[in-house]
Amino acid sequence: MNNNEIIAKYLPAHADVKINNNFIAFEIPHSSLKEIVCDLYRKHNLPLKTITAADEREENGCFKIFYAFGAPKENIFVAPFIRIESSEEFPSLTSEIHEASTYERKIKTFFGLNPIGHPNPRTLILHENWPNGLFPLRKDFNWQTRPAEAKEHFEFYKIEGEGIYEIPVGPIHAGIIEPGHFRFNVAGEEILNLEPRLGFVHKGSEKLFEILPLEKKLILSEKISGDSAFSHSLAFCQAVESLGGINVPERAKYLRVVYAELERLANHLGDIGFIMLDTGFNFGGANGSRLREMIMQINERLTGSRFLRGVNIFGGVAKDINRQAADKLMEDLENIVNDFSEVIEVAENSDSLLNRLKGTGIVTGQIAKDHGVTGVAGRAGGSKNDARKDFPYAAYDKLDFQIAVEETSDVYARFRVRIKEVYSSFEIIKQALENLPEGAVNAPLAAVNLTPNAQALSIVEGWRGDIVYFAMTDARGNISRVDVRDPSFLNWTAAGHAGPGNIVPDFPLINKSFNLSYSGNDL
Amino acid sequence: MENIINWTIQILLLPALSPLCVGIIRKIKARFQNRQGASVFQPYNDLWKLFHKDEVISSDASWIFRFAPFAIFGATLAVSASLPIFASFLSNNFTSDILAVIYILAIGTFFLALAGLDVGGAFGGFGSSREMTVSALAEGGLLFSLLVLSFMSGTTNLFSISGTIDSLPLASLLPVVLAFLGFFIVLLAETARFPFDNPSTHLELTMIHEAMIIEYSGKRLALIEWASANKLLIFITLGSSLFFPIGIAHSMGVIAIAAAILFYLLKVLVFCVAVAIIESGIAKLRLFRLPDLLLFSFILSVIALGLII
């Protein structure tokens, strides 16, 4: 399908269209926002990838809000946008499209634009000590500003009644995990309501993306969520490559697949172990960590970095894998997979383990759909979405693999999806190494010149789910805005719904089965 | 004179050995996980370290929080002096009764639960609530399993029981084994081991014992840690000296006592290995399934009782 057909299929007639590669942006008036966006979401059933704002008051005298949808298979992104000129308000879509809620809250918090009609426009991410009326992503906010403590108050959802009490947990935990606060409303041991409150690792990353020089932006993208360093930098590189019209050599595309799958393997192996450990199944826990460490050491051997940092560069990758290293890699991976199969066999034969995993932390289909649950958690509930198939990037369109799907949507399903993906990652690496084309591993670039006034959207299926980067340039061809949407941003909203109906001591296990990023959510 | 030596050994042996017991279980668990593991003497180092540390006590804490560790530790000392460890001929008619021992231990649990509630933190509260649920349900199994022995030997004095059980005919082995199975489940519950509790977890929300003591630090924490190690060895000793009193010394004599201590150490080692294997091989039970297991322990004891009456 070419661009004209896409435009005819999804866009209203006479739309003023602006195209950059596979990103189609068109302005729509406030009045028809609801109708057009709901059409894309419901009638065309396109997945909503991100809603984000940009402050263009200096250049164009307005804020813009983009509603970016992806058209799977066609690998094209359709993004209607509205201009906000005189007021600081925009119509909220939350009552129509539930997953818009957190995006709109984020826009309100960081841009000071009010979503009119939003049922619950509380601030998101920024702490109650951040002063009201100070909006960090507006261009006139200096990134070095150090505001005074505001000591505002944050209202948690509260359930009242006889015998119901609250358990505040975190942000400091007994184990070494990222900081986040969880507020439970509990009757005895049963969870009635659970609200995660995040933002404790807010680092101003999106602001820094506007400030730092281009090569530093790349390093920043590796630090958005440390366990997904490669996937995040890949998503950012792809966005920049799209804006700069850079062609990536074939060999680099295959290598990107290999590294991305190594990252997935390391994290899935670790997670599978931790899920078992959290039920107290020590054997599985110890072996998960051991297998993960073996992949990390492979990463270090291939690239010099256990977390695959510094591997992605604009136009390709910095580290090649020669024939000898590829053979050694295949040999090691085969051993690891055999080892892994033995561990899983023991685990699947342990009744006490399966009893803890099955039926725990179910996210019902409607809740998952409304919150736009993505990645492992989404596929555990039967949603057949995988950016590697839907929006193929790098060399995934040339490789043969299946999307791992489970139906039960409980901890066990998320556990199983990870196991299946370990096997499929192994197969993908094998195919990629066998078909590795000869040639350069990166495009020789003297300088990166980006198209002015353009937008690009890039999706990478990280090990948690799809990582979305939206980048746009100003009139001089500098990156003026980068919106990062880690899969955790969506899945956190649903993780809260996995709690009610379960008992308090099962929550750590449920949380671990999602294993969401705090850093990637808080940005 | 000999009596003084015997009683010195009797009183000191258990608290001196208990940290080693914890160390051995940890070591075996580590080996099961392909890990090297810390030395078996690490719990002694931990206690030494904690005894030399300052404490942080919440300003909301009352005298109960300050006093509880001494009560808990004291209770385990009193019980360890009342158990037949290596000699059945020693006699202690004050605290060595089945009911006395069970309820002195319960005093320790009571103060532990109170201390968990005292500071008012969320974790201490649910830790205490869970502990009370578990120990209330475990009480029946414990009492009835020991009652089986008491009926068989016609006495409630622990020293006398250990002196008579191994001279019983082979036919009475079945009720002893059934009662022991019931007792062993209670052992796991009372000493905060799998599948009831995870002594090595870092997850606040799943804890029982660790949640109650989460506010303790320094010297008081050392006392509580030592007391829970004592409690573990107390239950192991109950299991080994009452249900299987093989090798226990029935009369005074250096060789008999030395052999009895050796036998005792062997039996303790077997118990430690069993606990470590259980902890390595299974996952923890869901909290709401714990009562079923404890009820099972109670039923086993009742069947054993039915067999002998």
* A28/A473 Cα distance (integer angstroms): 20
Q: Total structural domains in chain A?
A: 3
In chain B, residues with a C-beta closer than 8 Å to the C-beta of A178 are: none
Chain A: nearest CA to B30, how far in angstroms?
9
Q: Cβ contacts (< 8 Å) between A283 and chain B: which residues?
A: 32-33, 280-281
Look at residue A490 and tell me if it is in a domain: yes
Q: Please give the pLDDT value at position A1.
A: 55
- Tell me the chain A residues in contact with residue B125 when contact means C-beta distances shorter than 8 Å: 165
CB contact under 8 A, B33 and A167: no
Please list the helix, strand and coil fractions of chain B in percent, rounded to the nearest 5, in that order: 75, 0, 25
Is residue A299 domain-shared with residue A365, that is, in the same domain?
yes
The angle, 0 to 180 degrees and rounded to 10, between the axes of the packed helices A229-244 and A250-278 is 150
Q: Is B122–A166 a contact, with Cβ atoms under 8 angstroms apart? A: yes
- CATH of residue A32's domain is 3.30.460.80
Residue A349 lies in a domain: yes
Residues of B in contact with A350 (CB under 8 A): 281-283
Whether chain A has a CB inside 8 Å of the CB on B288: the answer is yes
Q: Tokens 């980068």: give the residue.
A: A482
Contact check, Cβ <8 Å, B284/A279: yes
> Domain with A466 in it: what CATH number?
1.10.645.10
- Contact present, A373 and A411 (Cβ < 8 Å): no
Cα–Cα nearest to B246, from B84, B121, B67: B84
Closest among B277, B297, B293 to B196, alpha carbons compared:
B293
Inter-chain CB proximity B284 and A280 less than 8 Å: yes
Assigned domain for A347 exists: yes
Asked if residue A182 and residue A63 are part of one domain, the reply reads no
Both A211 and A283 in a single domain?
yes
* C-beta neighbour count of A444 within 10 angstroms: 8
Chains A, B: CB contacts within 8 A come to: 86
ipTM (interface predicted TM): 0.85
Nearest to A504 among B32, B126, B281 (CB): B126
* Per-residue pLDDT in tens (0 to 9) along chain A, 523 residues: 567 777 777 777 777 788 888 888 888 888 888 888 888 888 888 899 999 999 988 888 889 999 999 988 888 899 999 999 888 889 999 988 999 999 999 999 999 999 998 898 888 888 888 888 889 999 888 888 888 888 888 888 888 888 888 888 878 887 788 899 999 998 888 889 888 888 899 998 999 999 999 889 999 999 999 899 999 999 999 999 998 888 899 999 999 999 999 999 999 999 999 999 988 888 898 899 999 999 999 999 999 999 999 999 998 999 989 899 999 999 999 999 999 999 999 999 988 899 989 989 899 888 998 998 999 999 999 888 899 999 998 889 999 999 999 999 999 999 999 999 999 999 999 999 999 998 888 888 878 888 888 899 999 999 999 999 999 998 888 999 999 999 999 999 888 888 888 888 889 899 999 999 999 998 8
The verdict on A175 and A239 lying in the same domain is: no
CA dihedral B34, B35, B40, B42 (to 10 degrees): -160
Q: Which of helix, strand or coil describes residue A317? A: strand
- Cα distance between residue B83 and residue B104, in whole Å: 12
The sign of the CA dihedral A96, A100, A106, A112 is negative
The reply to whether A377 and A498 lie within a common domain is yes
Whether A89 and A21 have beta carbons less than 8 Å apart is answered as no
pLDDT per position as a tens digit, B197-254: 888 887 888 888 888 998 999 999 999 999 999 999 999 999 998 888 888 888 878 8
Sequence-distant (≥ 6) Cβ neighbours of residue B48 within 8 angstroms: none
Is residue A190 domain-shared with residue A267, that is, in the same domain?
no
- In this predicted model, what pLDDT tens digit does every residue of A308-338 receive, in sequence order? 999 999 989 999 898 999 999 999 999 999 9
Q: Which domain holds residue A234?
A: 205-522
**3-state class of A480 per DSSP?**
strand
B36 lies within 8 A of chain A by CB: no
Residues A19 and A35 in one domain: yes
Same structural domain, A410 and A384:
yes
3-state secondary structure at position A365? helix
**Mode of pairing for the β-strands spanning A181-187 and A164-169:** antiparallel
Find the closest chain B residue to A175 by CA distance. B202
| A282–B279 CB contact, under 8 Å | yes
**A413 and A515, same domain (yes or no):** yes
CB A469 within 8 A of CB A231: no
Strand (E) or helix (H) holding A230: helix A229-244
Same domain membership, residue A181 and residue A75: no
pLDDT of residue A465: 92
CA–CA separation, A314 and A448 (whole Å): 8
The Cα–Cα gap between B123 and B205 comes to 7
Q: Is residue A155 part of a domain?
A: no
Considering only CB atoms, A505 lies closest to which of B122, B282, B287, namely B287
The per-residue pLDDT for A275 is: 93
Residue written as token pair 């619950």: A120
Mean of the per-residue pLDDT values for chain A?
Answer: 89
Q: Which residues contact A366 (CB under 8 A, 6 or more apart)?
A: none
